[in-house]
Structure 1
Amino acid sequence: MVTLETIRKDMEAQLALDNSIQSVIVNADTLEEALQDAAVQLDSKVSTLEYEIIEKGSDGFLGLAKKPWKLRIYPTAEAMAKRKKVKDDASFDAENFYEEVKTVDQDGMFYIRHFGDNICLKVTLPVGKGRPVEAKQIISEAKRTDTLSIDEDLIRKLAKNGSKDQYEVVGQYKHVPAGDALLVIDVSKDEMLATVTVTPPSLSGAEISAEQIIRNLEIQGVVAGIEEDKINEFVDNPAYNVPCEVAAAVKPQDGRDAYMVFHFETDPTKLKIKESKNGLVNFKELNQIQNVVKGQPLAQKMPPERGKAGKTLKGRYLEAKNGKDIRLPLGKNVELDKDGVTILASMNGRVLFESERINVEPVLELDAVNIKTGNIDFLGTVVVKGNVEDGYDVKASGNIEVNGTVGQSHLKTESGDIIVSQGIFGHDVGVIQAGGSLWAKFIQSAKVEVEKFVIVSDSIMNSEVTAMKRVILNGKKAQITGGHLFATEEICAKNIGSPGGGAETILEVGFDPRLKQRLADIQDEQNSLMRELEETENNIITLENFKKQRRTLPKEKQDHLDNLKKRKEEIIVNSEKYATEVEQILQRLHELKVFGKVKAFGTVYAGVKIYVRDVVDEVRSDVKSCTFFFENGFVRRGKYEEPDMTDVKAPEGYSS
């Protein structure tokens, strides 16, 4: 089993191995072969290696007296830093592991160079647990046959404190100018690159300094792009007879083109099915609709950037291109914000990116609602050309129009109407809720709640229907059979009930259905509280009698008694609140100006129960063309009256 401790040990071992490989000494016939060999050993690229020549190789004469190259090779500082970053990124995540980031150990380094008549020294300090340089070693290497004098105290000081990346004069040597290293500066014809080629100095000859290279570049007319870091690298680790880059032109940078940042998914194929917190997928929630609200940011244009001009080594101007601007993809029902770059939705709806334009569609048209579409939740109007199949729901902020039928589904609008051209087969499961009105051919075995009217052309069968205004059936059949219907103002149909009884049919008018339902709920709660209060009081009496006999109670029983008394007080307070609310509801129902009417221009069959206000009229024999209304505390029957349709406006395109 792999544990955290095992991983830690393996990584520590690998880190120790990596740290141990600071440099390698390679013998090879050529410089190139040596670098390639070292690249394999150091697991690096040749371009990221630096080297020191320990013994210079020679091709000999006709293959005789051939001498191999001996080099000390190590990665560049940039390569080491990059390797460290890669290791850190692949290391433990900070949220799950608390392992400290270990510093890469690196030994101190020193460089002895002969510039002019001086012996110069550069010392870099060690990193982490790296070993410092030893003054003895520096002094030993500084003493050559041509050395005249050295400042050993200064050398010890520099070995301890470093030279701050500078060469310090630590002595003099017998300088023979004829043996000096020679340099050649080569500037490319396009003035984009300059290289230096240096011949090695002979014994007592001076080496090339950074100042010499820079001075010769300036003599060649180079005024821009001088790379001092590469010049210093060359001085520290010279590669003789090989062209080395020391200056590069500043290349022009073309400006970035303008582009759009979209705050919605422009590719509908990338929309994913919603997952629950436990990872389960509901295939009815296909998440294919991207709803937006008025004023919501949809996209933002990132302006084009100006190009940055370049310069050749000799200062010649290199022109750069400015980024190209783009047109804003403004489509239907969107607007531009005050900043001139942000696109906003100008209404609620569905955002789409079509034909390189951002559009907000307030109407969603579907062939059907089924397994292909999943459930629909839309901020606008939904038009379904076919059916809403069993088990699929539709929610909308506007209207819902269904040209076919609705099955065991839940349709809900916030403020709009619901229009079902064919009919509703609820199968005792379907629910229709409208912030406006419901228009349908028929309603069968469904639960309906609307804020205004229920207008049906055919029939309502075995359904629970609640309308805050009127329920009107005005077709040729116009039949109410079975079920329970509520309406504040009136219920009107041709025939109500069925011959010979059958399913119970109850109609109620003249009150606020919600208030009455709330009243019924409160009364149920009150009955439950009274039963609990009676049981609580009996338990309190029992425990108090027990306490009188024993003079005291065990701690558990005493705590139980205290809790019972506390609960009794809560029940009394809640009961009083309910009683106050009941009085308020009864007062509002009593003050309701609309008494309510039930109208039938055909037949009201025996067995139908009609409630006007709280008074019931149980129809014991068939009644023809009649209006039921409230008068003097009783339900009266009068001649049939036409329903009030003055404020009933049919939805656009609905002809029933």
Structure 2
Amino acid sequence: MVTLETIRKDMEAQLELDSNIQSVEVNADSLDEALADAAVQLDSRVSHLEYEVIEKGSDGFLGLAKKPWKLRIYQTAEGLAKKKKTMAGVSINDDELDEEIKTVDQDGMFYIRHFGDKICLKVILPIGKGSPVDPKAIINDARRTDTLGLDEDAIRKFAKSGTDGKYEAVGDYKHVKAGDAMLVVDISKDEMLATVTVTPPAMSGAEISAEQIIRNLETQGVVAGVENDKIDEFVDNPVYNVPCEVAAAIKPQDGRDAYIAFNFETDPTKLKIKETKNGQVNFKELNQIQNVVKGQPLATKMPPERGKAGKTLFGRYLEAKNGKDIKIPLGKNVELDKDGVTIIASMNGRVMYESERINVEPVLELDAVNIKTGNIDFLGTVIVKGNVEDGYDVKASGNIEVGGTVGQSHLRSENGDIIVSQGIFGHDVGVIQAGKSLWAKFIQSAKVEVEEFCIVSDSIMNSEVTAMKRVILNGKKAQITGGHLFATEEIAAKNIGSPGGGAETILEVGFDPRLKQRLGEIQDEQNALMKELEDTDNNIVTLENFKKQRRTLAKEKQDQLDGLKKRKEEISVKSEEYAKEVEQILQRLHELKVFGKVKAFGTVYSGVKIYIRDVVDEVRTDVKSVTFFFENGFVRRGKYEEPDMNGIKVPDGYSAG
């Protein structure tokens, strides 16, 4: 098995070799070229190099008398330390290593070569469950007719411990120099490749060693690109009379061009429908809108890289191209972050990549909301030219403007107005929630909740409408028929109710609708708790009486009794919490300065119930042109007063008539 310790030993050996090269002398036409060249030789970064000028270069005049720079370049202490840590495996985690390295079983191997007048041995240890090398096999292979002597003890030692990738002398043989292998080094004209061609040795002749090949390369002037691994491979498994590569020039590496790393999908056709965890697909959630918030990183420019210079076998500098730079694709409503390369949104909206620019659009325009668009969820304003069809929802952080009608849908504006130029057909399913106000032609069978005003030009029919300020119908019909309307300040219309009674119509003003609703919820929950408490008490009494009779209870019954007592305590605590909350709500409702009014400039039909605060006025007979108000603990009726339009601003393009 390849262990962490084995890898560290290999790295330390390599580090020991590399540590001998701590400085180089370089000749180049410029400082940048010299540093790039040295970075290649020292296997370091330019930022980790220091230099001293031996001979200062000159550009000459019009290219004449040009003089190269001669520098001695060193690695900095920081660079050496980083290199040492990397080579020594300081950052290697044992667990990560076990995950990355898969154990491969491999038998041990050995090679016997005759270098000079010595018999040399190289042993590679087995890996995993591989079989070790047999010393007897080594001895048998090493013993030839020209063998003078073998150190069998050394052979046994190396068979067990290995030779650490080297050839070790283990004997002598009768060397005949005339039979030595012959070596020829061939270097290509472009100085990019060196090969060796070796003739096989005769009997008692010496084989070619790695040191001989390297020495011959140096004699030929090769100073870069020596491939020790290929030399070692040739020595282990020689191929005779065939050119074999032993050195290759260090090819220049062109720098990577600058590019933009996008944090969103730039191709809308690749946006996929959302899937649930179990793989189901909701075809109303088409996921076509990529929302972003102000300050959100949208993309980052990755700078171009400098090319890494190369070098021929003879040390001639090979220039590399630097990567090309690009412009940052800033579009509308985006800006650069402080780092100068990160593009961020300058407002909420929809991020898009169009015409090679990144844009954030705060307004989303649609022809309609239907099967083609799916549900809409947008951080900005949504403008729908047509209808919002049944079953499709629209959610926006800004305004929602609908040119047509709204069906059985859920419209929700977090912080803006909702404007429906035609009307709302809720069919007892539709829900409209506005962070500010709602403007519509009519509302039919829908639930409406608004934080400010509900302004309707035609009618409200069989709907539940809650407004934190006012509900005002101000068109020619201005009819409220059926349903339950809540408003803190006032409700105003032409006609309220319907002739002959019909659907029940209830209007409530003079309180906080949410607090009143919460009060009703608490009362329902308290009633349920009281019923549960009564049942719990009865069960406790039954079990305790049974215990008195038997003097003891079975474990199951005792656990049941303990559980009932615990639940009784929980009910008591919860009941006290509800009582405190009710007291707080009643206090806040009592402190409201607005008593509220209901106004009708037409007719309020019999059967209508009007609540102001907690006092009700049930209309017994039709009454015309009237204002209902609170006075001295009673609901009074007075002359019709015009609706309070203070603070209400009609949206652009909306007709209130």
8 Å contact kept, 1:108–1:127: no
The corresponding residue for 2:105 is 104
Counterpart CA distance in 1 for 2:158 and 2:219 is: 34
| Number of the residue aligned with 1:507 | 507
Contact 1:179 1:201 in 2 (8 A): yes
Whether the 8 Å contact between 2:596 and 2:629 is mirrored in structure 1 is yes
Does the 8 A contact of 1:263 with 1:299 survive in 2?
yes
Q: Which residue of structure 1 aligns with residue 600 of structure 2?
A: 600
Residue identity opposite 1:193 in structure 2: L
How far the C-alpha of 1:561 sits from its partner, in A, is: 4.1
Do the aligned partners of 1:108 and 1:130 also contact (CA within 8 Å) in 2? no
> In the alignment, which residue of structure 2 is the partner of 1:526?
526
Q: Judging changes above 3 Å, is the alpha-carbon distance between structure 1 residues 169 and 299 closer, same or farther for their aligned structure 2 residues?
A: same
Q: Deviations over 1:24-64 (max 9, x none)?
A: xxxxxxxxxxxxxxxxxxxxxxxxxxxxxxxxxxxxxxxxx
- Which residue of structure 2 aligns with residue 33 of structure 1? none
CA distance in 2, matches of 1:525, 1:302: 59
CA distance in 2, matches of 1:530, 1:248: 91
Query: Residue 651 of structure 2 aligns to which amino acid in structure 1?
Result: P
Q: Secondary structure at the match of 2:108?
A: coil
Summarize the alignment of residues 160-559 of structure 1 with structure 2, pairs less than 5 Å apart. Answer: 160-547=160-547, 555-559=555-559
Q: After the TM superposition, which of the residue ranges 613-622 and 534-543 deviates more from structure 2?
A: 534-543
CA contact (8 A) 1:109 1:126 kept: no
> Given residue 109 of structure 2, which amino acid in structure 1 is its aligned partner?
G
1:287 maps to amino acid: N
User: Aligned-pair distance for 1:267?
Assistant: 1.3
Distance in 1, matches of 2:125 and 2:492, equals: 100
Change (3 A) 1:406 1:194: same
SS of residue in 1 equivalent to 2:123: strand
- Quick check: 131-140 or 572-581, which moved more? 131-140
Amino acid at match of 1:106: D
Measured in 2, the distance between the counterparts of 1:561 and 1:236 equals: 85
Residues 361-390 of structure 1, C-alpha deviations (whole Å, 9 max, x = no match)? 111111111011111111111111110000
How far, CA to CA, are the matches of 2:137 and 2:559 in structure 1? 87
**Contact kept? 1:252, 1:319, Cα under 8 Å:** yes
Q: Which amino acid aligns with 1:112?
A: R
Residue 231 of structure 1: CA displacement?
1.6
State the shift of 1:527 in Å: 2.4
- Partners in 1 of 2:558 and 2:154 — Cα distance? 90
SS at match of 1:305: coil
Match of 2:577 in 1: 577
SS in 2 for 1:572: helix
> Structure 2 counterpart of 1:434, which letter?
A
Change (3 A) 1:533 1:221: closer
CA deviation after TM superposition for structure 1 residue 574, in Å:
2.8
8 Å contact 2:445–2:463 — kept in the other structure? yes
Q: Is the 8 A contact 2:111 2:236 kept in 1?
A: no
- Contact 2:113 2:207 survives alignment (8 Å): no
Q: Deviations over 1:420-453 (max 9, x none)?
A: 0001001111110111000001111111011100
Q: Structure 1: where are the runs of 5+ without partners?
A: 1-93
Does 403-412 or 276-285 show the bigger shift? 276-285
Contact 2:456 2:478 in 1 (8 A): yes
Contact 2:107-2:132 within 8 A present in 1 as well: no
Q: Equivalents in 1 of 2:233, 2:573: separation in Å?
A: 88
Question: 1-side partners of 2:185 and 2:583: how far apart?
Answer: 105
The residue aligned with 1:638 is 638
SS in 2 for 1:570: helix
Q: Which runs of 5+ in 2 are unaligned?
A: 1-94
Distance in 2, matches of 1:370 and 1:353, equals: 25
Contact 2:119/2:172, CA 8 A, preserved across alignment: yes
| 1:198-236 Cα shifts (integer Å, max 9, x gaps) | 122222333222222222212222111111221222222
Change (3 A) 1:368 1:173: same
Summarize the Cα distance change of 1:549–1:602 in structure 2 as closer, same or farther, 3 Å threshold: same
Whole-angstrom CA distance in 2 between matches of 1:233 and 1:187: 20
Equivalent residues of 1:251, 1:311 under 8 A apart = yes
Asked if the contact 2:425–2:443 (Cα under 8 Å) also holds between the matched residues in 1, the reply is yes
2:120 matched residue in structure 1 = 120
Percent sequence identity is: 83
Residues 274, 282 of structure 1: 8 Å contact kept: yes
CA distance in 2, matches of 1:547, 1:170: 95
Q: Secondary structure at the match of 1:517?
A: helix
Tell me how far apart the structure 2 counterparts of residues 361 and 381 of structure 1 sit (CA, whole Å): 9
Amino acid at match of 1:459: S
TM-score (structure 2 length as normaliser): 0.81
Task: Specify the code of the residue in structure 2 equivalent to 1:110.
Answer: Y
Shift of 1:186: 0.8
User: Hey, what's the Cα distance between the residues in 1 that align with 2:363 and 2:567?
Assistant: 54
Deviation at 1:517, TM superposition (A): 1.3
Secondary structure of residue in 2 paired with 1:422 = strand
Once the two structures are TM-superposed, the CA of residue 489 in structure 1 deviates from its matched residue by 0.4
Measured after TM superposition, the shift of residue 555 of structure 1 is 5.0
Change (3 A) 1:624 1:132: closer
The equivalent residue for 1:69 is: none
Go from structure 1 to structure 2 and tell me whether the alpha carbon gap of 1:205 and 1:547 turns closer, same or farther (over 3 Å shift).
closer
Rounded to whole Å, the distance in 2 between the matches of 1:542 and 1:159 is 87
The 1:182–1:468 alpha-carbon spacing in structure 2 relative to 1, beyond 3 Å, is same
Counterparts of 1:178 and 1:641, CA distance in 2? 129
In the aligned structure 1, how far is the partner of 2:138 from the partner of 2:592? 108
Q: CA deviation at 1:634?
A: 1.4
Amino acid at match of 1:451: E
Q: CA deviation at 1:255?
A: 0.7
What are the equivalent positions in structure 2 for 1:40-189 lying under 5 Å apart? Answer: 102-113=103-114, 115-189=115-189
What SS does the corresponding residue of 2:517 show, helix, strand or coil?
A: helix
Task: State the Cα distance separating 1:572 from its structure 2 match.
Answer: 3.3
Name the amino acid aligned to 2:584.
Q
Q: What SS does structure 1 have at the residue aligned with 2:213?
A: helix
Shift of 1:130: 3.8
CA distance 1:427–1:201, change in 2 (3 Å): same
Which deviates the most, 366-375 or 496-505? 496-505
What is the rounded CA distance, in whole Å, between the counterparts of 2:234 and 2:537 in structure 1? 99
CA distance in 2, matches of 1:563, 1:132: 70
2:3 corresponds to: none
Conserved? CA contact 1:351–1:361, under 8 Å: yes
Distance in 2 (alpha carbons) for counterparts of 1:197 and 1:536? 100
Secondary structure of 1:585's partner? helix
Which residue of the partner structure matches residue 651 of structure 1?
651
SS in 2 for 1:254: coil
- Rounded to whole Å, the distance in 2 between the matches of 1:250 and 1:363 is 55
**Code of the aligned partner of 2:645:** M
CA contact (8 A) 1:110 1:133 kept: no
CA gap 1:484/1:228 in 2 versus in 1, 3 angstroms: same
Q: What are the Cα deviations for residues 236-293 of structure 1, in whole angstroms up to 9, with x where unaligned? A: 2221111111111000001111112111111111111111222211111111111111
Counterpart of 1:627 in structure 2 is 627
What whole-Å deviation, never above 9, does each CA across 1:615-651 have from its counterpart, x for those lacking one?
1112222222111111111111111111111211122
